[in-house]
């Protein structure tokens, strides 16, 4: 199962008259037709939520459409359509313009992984001291039917100094707050600035990996590898905070997909999911998608987290966080965080 979560949660009231799609090619053509038609993406997303394919919609097709400009609403509908069609046969021919390059040889496959590992293990050591904002849009579903209800949006000041990240809560739903992140409650994630990369690429993790597919990510050719880190190496630390601040913890294994830029051998996306979670732990599912992009800090480009999406399922209670990182700037002794936007560098 692929882990890509929708960037935004959109609920549609579907009526009669929705378009019918039976092939992947018909879906691709319809999505491409919306790129220059304002408002058509919402209409198409509603139709796609009702579609029933006769073929498997693969991740690579969705990733290429994302790179071409598919909206978050359409991506969410495509991901649900992908999950519903996963057991069907793939199309006999790839959609126009989506024929994949030949896979690398086994030698090339290992060369890509080793070149990426050499950069990923020392990733945090290559970063300067900086500040940024972390904005977390949150949703909850208490019934287990993906009937999502918005939770308070949290903004935190994040500092990365001497290779350590620290978080300080700034606002909750736009209002200043002196609480800690734990006191606010809800799903919290940390460690986006290097921890996940080390878990996957550090040799002691004994990561099992294999080639999966070529794709396009943000219009750049990208290699995708499947990976698995055994639970014996404790790659996934799960912490659940209950009433009164009481915490329960568990270690689990981890599997997922690593997206590697073909030209630079830099990791630009990680999609991961916990596995072998202890049966008596309240959380049954934990998954995340982390995207990286280039930002300017002190006049130099650095590859840094762009956004993340985290999902936790505990019984019938589900949570979904959409995290945005912005306003990156160099840390100095006189630094203070201000609210604003810093766009990624276009490459």
Among the candidates 37, 64, 99, a domain finishes at 99
2 is a domain residue: yes
Note the pLDDT of residue 331: 87
Is it the case that residue 4 has pLDDT exceeding 60? no
Same domain, 47 and 153: no
The tokens for 188 are 């919290």
HEC readout, the chain? CCCCCCCCCCCCCCCCCCCCCCCHHHHHHHHHHCCCCCCHHHHHHHHHHHCCCCCCCCHHHHHHHHHHCCCHHHHHHHHHHHHHCCCCCCCCCCCCCCCCCCCCCHHHHHHHHHHHHHHHCCCHHHCCCEEEEEEEEEEEECCCCCCCEEEEEEEEEEEEECCEEEEEEEEECCEECCCCHHHHCCCCCCCCCCHHHHHHHCHHHCCEEEEEEEEEECCEEEEEEEEEECHHHCCEEEEEECHHHCEEEEEEEEEEEEEEECCCCCEEEEEEEEECCCCCCCCCEEEEEEEEEEEEECCEEEEEEEEEEEEEEECCEEEEEEEEEEEEEECCCCCCCCCCCCCCCCC
Same domain, 62 and 138: no
Is it the case that residue 156 has pLDDT exceeding 50? yes
What is the phi/psi pair of residue 68, to 5°? -80, -20
161 is a domain residue: yes
The pTM of this model reads 0.83
Same domain, 215 and 171: yes
Is it the case that residue 336 has pLDDT exceeding 70? no
pLDDT category at 176 given cuts 50, 70, 90 is confident
Same domain, 80 and 145: no
233 is a domain residue: yes
270 is a domain residue: yes
- Decide which of 81 and 16 is more confident: 81
Same domain, 72 and 155: no
Q: Could you tell me the residue range of the domain that residue 72 belongs to?
A: 1-99
Same domain, 82 and 139: no
170 is a domain residue: yes
Same domain, 65 and 176: no
Q: Quote the Cα angle for 67-71-76, to 5°.
A: 100
Q: Which residues of 10-20 are buried (b: 16+ CB within 10 A; e: fewer)?
A: bebeeeeebee
Q: What tens digit of pLDDT does each residue of 305-324 get?
A: 999 999 988 888 888 899 99
217 is a domain residue: yes
Same domain, 168 and 283: yes
Same domain, 151 and 188: yes
Note the pLDDT of residue 247: 75
The tokens for 346 are 């276009």
Portion of the chain with pLDDT greater than 70, in percent: 85
344 is a domain residue: no
138 is a domain residue: yes
Note the pLDDT of residue 271: 95
Same domain, 192 and 62: no
Q: What tens digit of pLDDT does each residue of 28-73 get?
A: 999 999 988 877 888 899 889 888 999 999 999 999 999 999 998 8
Same domain, 163 and 38: no
Note the pLDDT of residue 293: 94
Residue 84 CA: distances (Å) to CA of 80, 141, 255, 305: 6, 21, 21, 30
Q: What is the mean pLDDT of the chain?
A: 84
Same domain, 52 and 87: yes
The mean per-residue pLDDT over the stretch 150-177 comes to 88
Q: What tens digit of pLDDT does each residue of 82-130 get?
A: 999 999 999 999 999 999 899 999 999 999 999 999 999 888 888 999 9
Is it the case that residue 266 has pLDDT exceeding 70? yes
Considering its fold, how many domains does the chain have in total? 2
């Amino acid at each position: 199962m692929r882990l890509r979560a929708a960037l935004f949660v959109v609920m549609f009231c579907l009526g009669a008259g929705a378009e019918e799609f039976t092939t992947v090619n018909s879906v691709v053509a319809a999505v491409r037709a919306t790129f220059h038609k304002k408002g058509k993406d919402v209409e198409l997303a509603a139709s796609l939520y009702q579609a029933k394919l006769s073929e498997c919609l693969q991740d690579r097709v969705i990733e290429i459409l994302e790179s071409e400009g598919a909206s978050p609403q359409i991506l969410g509908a495509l991901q649900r359509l992908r999950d519903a069609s996963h057991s069907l046969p793939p199309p006999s021919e790839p959609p126009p313009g989506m024929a994949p390059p030949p896979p690398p040889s086994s030698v090339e496959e290992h060369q890509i992984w080793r070149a990426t590992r050499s950069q990923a293990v020392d990733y945090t050591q290559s970063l300067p001291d900086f500040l940024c904002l972390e904005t977390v849009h949150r949703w909850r579903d208490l019934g287990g039917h993906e009937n999502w209800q918005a939770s308070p949006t949290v903004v935190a000041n994040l500092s990365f100094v001497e290779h350590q990240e620290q978080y300080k809560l700034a606002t909750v739903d736009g209002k200043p707050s002196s609480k800690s992140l734990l006191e606010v409650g809800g799903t919290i994630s940390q460690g986006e600035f290097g921890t996940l990369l080390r878990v996957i690429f550090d040799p002691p993790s004994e990561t099992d990996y294999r080639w999966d597919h070529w794709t396009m990510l943000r219009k750049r050719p990208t290699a995708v590898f499947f990976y698995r880190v055994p639970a014996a190496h404790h790659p996934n630390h799960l912490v659940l905070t209950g009433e009164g601040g009481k915490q329960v913890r568990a270690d689990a294994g981890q599997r997922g997909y690593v997206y590697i830029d073909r030209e630079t051998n830099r990791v630009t996306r990680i999609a991961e999911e916990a596995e072998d979670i202890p049966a008596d732990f309240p959380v049954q599912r934990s998954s995340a998608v982390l995207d990286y992009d280039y930002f300017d800090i002190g006049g130099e480009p650095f590859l840094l987290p762009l956004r993340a999406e985290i999902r936790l399922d505990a019984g019938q209670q589900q949570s979904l966080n959409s995290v945005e990182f912005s306003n990156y700037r160099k840390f100095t002794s006189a630094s203070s965080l201000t609210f604003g936007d810093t766009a990624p560098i276009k490459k």
